[in-house]
Structure 1
Amino acid sequence: MKQDRKWVYYLGLALVAAVWGANFGVSRKGMETFDPVLFSFLRFSLAVPFFFLILKLKEGKVGISLKMVPRFMIIGLVGLTALEIIVMYSIKYTTLANSSLLNVAPWPIFAALFGPFFLRERITSRLVAGGIAAMIGVCFIILGGSEGFDLSSDNMLGNLLAFAVSIIGSLFNLACMPLMKQCSPLYLSTWYTTFGVVFMFPFTIPSWGKVDWSALGGSEYSAVLFNVFLCTVIGFIVWNEGMLRIGATRANFFRYLVPAFAVAAGYLFFDESFSGWQLAGGIFMVAGLIWISLERGEPAAVNV
């Protein structure tokens, strides 16, 4: 790859991070019309045909062997059905700043901390120090919110759900790594997304009748299309191409643009504030990840 072409991939990663960050606001707007689970189901179910089309065009085959079905079913149930439902409710029940930081920032840190249990790598003092810094950052974000530490508040519920996303998501990524040796990230994501939406569908049944479909307008359709094409289909392709071209470690640092754009969406659409304590928390989490990443590479992401 020519050196002067690298800026294209860096720009692509930055744009995807901006889209994913803005999606925290778009998703909350969408949930004013759709229940969280239904909104998530629409996003991924509508994206599945496009994933299969791209898989067919890129790799020439889309079939799956019967012996692989149980594994894909399990990771689809955990990595998409359960994880995405938790993501949507975390966005609904806390601020965009909290949900974006707690969803996105600790994820790679937990992957680094849990990695030795999956990859037989030893836990070093650098990993411990980086993890402690990250956890301090998480505490600052929760305590620095407008409601502080209040277990009875909706914000605290959303904070806890968002924090759970990072733990479950990192474990899910690590569990997928053996499969990455047998198939491409595109193939893996196509099939676990397919099984994930199948398992998610029963949870959407009570929600379909709550939507006045005839009254849907441009804003509702725009929110769905934004999620399907920009966040899921295009975002996945551009992000993985960037990882391929510049490396997973460098690419993952672009995840930290996501909270910044989510906070911007909070300012623009919901008049949310961002305290100095939360800013300090974000800095602690970034510093923790940088400290960890200086020693070892991060697990490659297999979802968006």
Structure 2
Amino acid sequence: MTSSLSSALHRKDYLVGLTIAISGAILFSTKAIVAKLIYRYHVDAVTLIAFRMLFSLPIFAAIAFWQARQGFPLSWADRGRLVVLGLMGYYLSSFLDFLGLQYITAGLERLILFLTPSFVLLISATFLKRRISGLEWSALLVSYMGIVLVFLHDLKFGGSDVMLGSTMVLGAAISYALYLLQSGQLVTRLGSMRLVSYAMCVSSAACIGQFFVLRPTSMLIQPGAVYWLSLVNAILCTVLPVFMTMIAVQRIGAATASQAGMIGPVSTLFLGAIFLGEPITGWQLAGTVLVVGGMYLLSMKKNT
């Protein structure tokens, strides 16, 4: 009886963790949809990302302050690494991502970003001499075929803008892959919550500072819808997914949480159709299946 009750509680805990992971992945993917809606008010990427960080900074700053009180003091070397990671992982990556979203569909953007694990693998193989197995090569081939399929479909209708936007989002994915590779040591020492809150504070300062350097302060005056959408972008699409993912990893493990994140590109495809009127074609569905399938193969390799 006790064993049966324990099994039921474990099952319930697993399902709760899985639900949190899936919800977090969908919310994070919704960022592209919200950004597209904000662009309809003739707001540029510099202003969009500044508003996103202005609304999210107080939360990350409060968490960073709380973590600083509980944790050990940082060395100057660690502070320097955190600044570099914040600029690389959240400032540069986010900025390139939002720039690219001006030119490509939300569905294509999410598929390109979803290739980040494959870039981590390729960078590791190139610079760290990590051996890539046959299964991993197969996963890369399948996923890149999916990207090419969707890219060629969108290129047919969007022309050079699709090429420009895809290149920017590709840069965002590579930048975030470099962040992941460089953050390994600090995550082990500081913990994920402390690292993320510090890095997000650095990124916020860079994004907000960039706005005041490149744009007049009059650009802070926007239609009410821009403020509300920016608040959604900051809280529901940035802060919540970060912590939901952490909670999910604690409950069900990093591997399962990562696999649950594969719902992201699929949800973006359908959310784009609902809120943005972006068409769903057979080519896009096929490409999405290939990309998600390739990343699934890659995650299976990491689990073994």
Partner of 1:112: 121
Identify the match of residue 49 of structure 2 among 34, 37, 40: 40
Shift of 1:297: 4.3
* 262-271 or 86-95: bigger deviation: 262-271
Q: C-alpha separation between the residues in 2 aligned to 1:258 and 1:197?
A: 24
Shift of 1:88: 0.4
Shift of 1:122: 2.4
Contact 2:117-2:177 within 8 A present in 1 as well = yes
Contact 1:45-1:197 within 8 A present in 2 as well = yes
Amino acid at match of 2:288: G
Q: Please list the CA deviations of residues 86-113 of structure 1 after superposition, one character each: whole Å capped at 9, or x if unmatched.
A: 010111111111112112x211222233
Partner of 1:234: 240
Shift of 1:208: 4.2
Shift of 1:57: 4.8
Q: C-alpha separation between the residues in 2 aligned to 1:136 and 1:210?
A: 45
Instruction: Output the TM-score relative to the length of structure 2.
Output: 0.86
- Equivalent residue of 1:182, what SS? helix
Shift of 1:148: 5.6
Shift of 1:26: 0.9
Instruction: Output the TM-score relative to the length of structure 1.
Output: 0.86
Partner of 2:96: 86
Partner of 1:21: 29
Q: C-alpha separation between the residues in 2 aligned to 1:242 and 1:40?
A: 27
Contact 2:135-2:301 within 8 A present in 1 as well = yes
Amino acid at match of 1:110: F
* 88-97 or 65-74: bigger deviation: 65-74
Amino acid at match of 2:293: A
Q: C-alpha separation between the residues in 2 aligned to 1:173 and 1:188?
A: 12
Shift of 1:18: 2.0
Q: C-alpha separation between the residues in 2 aligned to 1:249 and 1:117?
A: 24
Q: Please list the CA deviations of residues 58-111 of structure 1 after superposition, one character each: whole Å capped at 9, or x if unmatched.
A: 6743764323221111111211221111010111111111112112x2112222
Q: Return the structure number with greater helix share.
A: 2
Identify the match of residue 68 of structure 1 among 62, 74, 78: 78
Identify the match of residue 193 of structure 2 among 186, 198, 203: 186
**Alignment: residue pair count:** 293
Partner of 2:6: none
Shift of 1:55: 4.5
Q: Please list the CA deviations of residues 22-63 of structure 1 after superposition, one character each: whole Å capped at 9, or x if unmatched.
A: 221111122335321222122224323212323555674376
- Equivalent residue of 1:93, what SS? coil
Q: 1:174 to 1:41 in 2, by over 3 A?
A: same
Q: 1:254 to 1:118 in 2, by over 3 A?
A: farther
Partner of 2:11: 3
Shift of 1:197: 2.4
Partner of 1:158: 165
* 136-145 or 50-59: bigger deviation: 50-59
Identify the match of residue 143 of structure 2 among 112, 126, 134: 134
* Structure 1 unpaired stretches of 5+: 299-304
Contact 2:54-2:204 within 8 A present in 1 as well = yes
- Equivalent residue of 1:272, what SS? coil
Contact 1:40-1:85 within 8 A present in 2 as well = yes
Amino acid at match of 2:18: Y
Identify the match of residue 279 of structure 1 among 257, 275, 285: 285
The percentage of aligned residue pairs carrying the same residue is 21
Q: Which structure has the bigger radius of gyration?
A: 2
Contact 2:13-2:251 within 8 A present in 1 as well = no
Q: C-alpha separation between the residues in 1 aligned to 2:179 and 2:110?
A: 19
Q: 1:138 to 1:13 in 2, by over 3 A?
A: same
Contact 1:118-1:175 within 8 A present in 2 as well = no
* Structure 2 unpaired stretches of 5+: 1-8
Q: Please list the CA deviations of residues 217-253 of structure 1 after superposition, one character each: whole Å capped at 9, or x if unmatched.
A: 2x22221111222122222111111012111111112
